[in-house]
């Protein structure tokens, strides 16, 4: 709260898109916007994940340490509840990718509610977009590997009588090859963007009302209480969106691996 | 029938994880059942069963919206071309919605 009070003079109300473009954190001139808080948060995410999993698995014990138990639980959750449940026993070979994806998205999203960070890299479309492209290339590659080039026919020609196919094939192409990567990226991005915007509105709105007239102080307090409540809502959205991204990736892989009907 | 098989005496197998051949087992998979204090295999269901799917809502939504958007767009192009004043767009959207529903029934219902 103190940090925001200090930052208040620069903060305009209402908040806008420009609030997502933070200044560079590198002190010297001429570096442009290559190293911002967003960049740093992604680097920290990657560092945390690498260090955590390396140390957790470096010396696995039969009776696990807490850290190892935690790492095992995360991997076991994605492996059993997403990969195997969605794809079947063949899904085990995708569990490492899905776990990496899940942890990366979850941590990146989590920065949105970590005090002091309070902005998620996922609220910039670039990160979800690249993740969606990776998943997109993955499921197409898996499909081509399994069915050969016939995968595309398998994917866009539904089991239906021939006269209705001209109606259905465009829908299948649009739904399977255009909407999928787009919706993966936009769903994650928009949720994190809107969440950050919501918190900004209630936090800065409290200050705006307080600055307008002291009579509105009780409403400002209500607004900040709402900020706290919405932070918990954000926690839910963060978990849900990382789960949904991974579940849908697994679903697309499952579709690519499915046998002919 | 498969359930009774699972409850019978342990089957001989050379892997540490049920249903996974030894070559597929990664170190994490070897330690996991012991670590979690849960040596049972995850409930695999019968091989013929479809696994429970939590993604079908998204798939259904995607088909429905895709149908409306694709055929609505084609209808809109026809409108632009022949100057029907929006009638073709409406017809296209309805036909697309019908196609989407049909696809949901075929892909998810069967």
Q: Token match 């003079």: residue?
A: A9
Query: Measured between alpha carbons, how far is A175 from A68 in angstroms, rounded to an integer?
Result: 41
As a three-state string, the secondary structure of A100-122 is HHHHHHHHHHHCCCCCCCCCCHH
Of B20, B24, B63, the CB nearest to A171: B63
Output the average pLDDT for chain A: 88
Closest approach of chain A CAs to the CA of B30, in angstroms? 10
Nearest to residue A41, comparing CAs of A102, A115, A117?
A117
- Is the CB of A75 less than 8 angstroms away from the CB of B28? yes
Closest approach of chain A CAs to the CA of B61, in angstroms? 10
**pLDDT tens digits in sequence order for chain B, 110 residues long:** 444 444 444 555 454 555 555 555 565 665 555 555 555 555 555 555 555 567 888 889 999 999 999 999 999 999 999 988 889 999 999 999 999 999 998 888 75
Quick one: pLDDT at residue A181? 94
Quick one: pLDDT at residue A7? 47
Residue B109: DSSP 8-state: I
- Is the CB of A167 less than 8 angstroms away from the CB of B66? no
Closest approach of chain A CAs to the CA of B93, in angstroms? 12
What are the 10-residue block averages of pLDDT along chain A, 261 residues in total? 46 79 75 81 95 89 87 93 90 94 96 90 94 96 92 87 90 92 94 94 90 88 94 95 95 86 50
- Is the CB of B44 less than 8 angstroms away from the CB of A84? yes
Residues 6+ apart with CB under 8 A from A76: B32, B36
Quick one: pLDDT at residue B8? 47
ipTM of the complex: 0.77
Which residues of chain A neighbour B32 with C-beta distances below 8 Å?
A: 72, 75-76, 79
Which residues of chain B neighbour A88 with C-beta distances below 8 Å?
A: 51
Quick one: pLDDT at residue A33? 72
- Is the CB of B27 less than 8 angstroms away from the CB of A93? no
Report whether A83 contacts B42 (CB < 8 A): no
- pLDDT tens-place string over residues A91-127: 999 999 999 999 999 999 999 999 888 899 999 999 9
The reply to whether B1 touches chain A by the CB within 8 Å rule is no
Of A68, A80, A87, the CB nearest to B42: A80
Quick one: pLDDT at residue B82? 92
Query: Measured between alpha carbons, how far is A49 from A160 in angstroms, rounded to an integer?
Result: 46
Quick one: pLDDT at residue A49? 95
Number of H helices and number of E strands within chain A?
Answer: 10, 0
Q: Output b/e per residue, B59-87; b: 16+ Cβ within 10 A.
A: bbebbbbbbbbbbbbbbbebbeeeeeeee
Residues 6+ apart with CB under 8 A from A36: A21, A22, A23, A24, A25
- pLDDT tens-place string over residues A47-79: 999 999 999 988 888 888 888 999 999 999 999
- Is the CB of A160 less than 8 angstroms away from the CB of B102? yes
| Bond from prior residue into B82 cis (ω within 30 degrees of 0) | no
pTM: 0.80
């Amino acid at each position: 709260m103190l940090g925001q009070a200090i930052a208040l003079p620069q903060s305009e109300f209402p908040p806008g898109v420009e609030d997502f473009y933070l200044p560079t954190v590198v002190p010297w001139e001429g570096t442009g916007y290559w190293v911002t808080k967003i960049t740093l948060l992604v680097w920290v995410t990657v560092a945390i994940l690498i260090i955590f999993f390396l140390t957790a698995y470096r010396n696995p014990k039969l009776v696990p340490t807490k850290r190892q138990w935690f790492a095992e639980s995360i991997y076991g959750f994605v492996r059993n509840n997403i990969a195997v449940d969605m794809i079947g026993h063949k899904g085990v070979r995708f569990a490492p990718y899905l776990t990496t994806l899940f942890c990366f998205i979850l941590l990146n999203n989590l920065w949105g509610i970590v005090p002091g960070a309070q902005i998620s890299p996922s609220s910039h479309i670039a990160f979800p977009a690249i993740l969606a492209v990776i998943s997109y290339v993955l499921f197409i590659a898996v499909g081509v590997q399994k069915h050969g080039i016939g995968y595309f026919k398998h994917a866009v020609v539904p089991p239906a009588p021939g006269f209705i196919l001209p109606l259905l094939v465009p829908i299948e192409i649009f739904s399977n090859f255009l909407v999928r990567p787009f919706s993966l990226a936009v769903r994650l991005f928009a949720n994190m963007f809107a969440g950050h915007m919501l918190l900004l509105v209630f936090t800065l709105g409290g200050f705006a009302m307080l600055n307008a007239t002291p009579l509105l102080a009780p409403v400002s307090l209500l607004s900040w209480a709402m900020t706290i409540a919405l932070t918990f809502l954000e926690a839910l959205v963060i978990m849900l969106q990382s789960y949904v991204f991974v579940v849908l990736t697994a679903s697309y892989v499952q579709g690519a691996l499915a046998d002919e009907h | 029938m498969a359930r009774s098989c699972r409850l019978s005496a342990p089957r001989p197998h050379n892997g540490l994880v049920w249903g996974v051949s030894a070559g597929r087992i990664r170190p994490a998979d070897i330690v996991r059942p012991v670590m979690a204090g849960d040596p049972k295999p995850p409930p695999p269901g019968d091989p013929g069963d479809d696994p429970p799917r939590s993604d079908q809502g998204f798939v259904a939504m995607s088909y429905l919206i895709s149908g409306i958007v694709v055929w609505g767009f084609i209808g809109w192009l026809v409108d632009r071309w022949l100057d029907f004043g929006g009638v073709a767009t409406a017809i296209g959207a309805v036909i697309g919605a019908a196609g989407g529903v049909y696809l949901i029934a075929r892909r998810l219902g069967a």
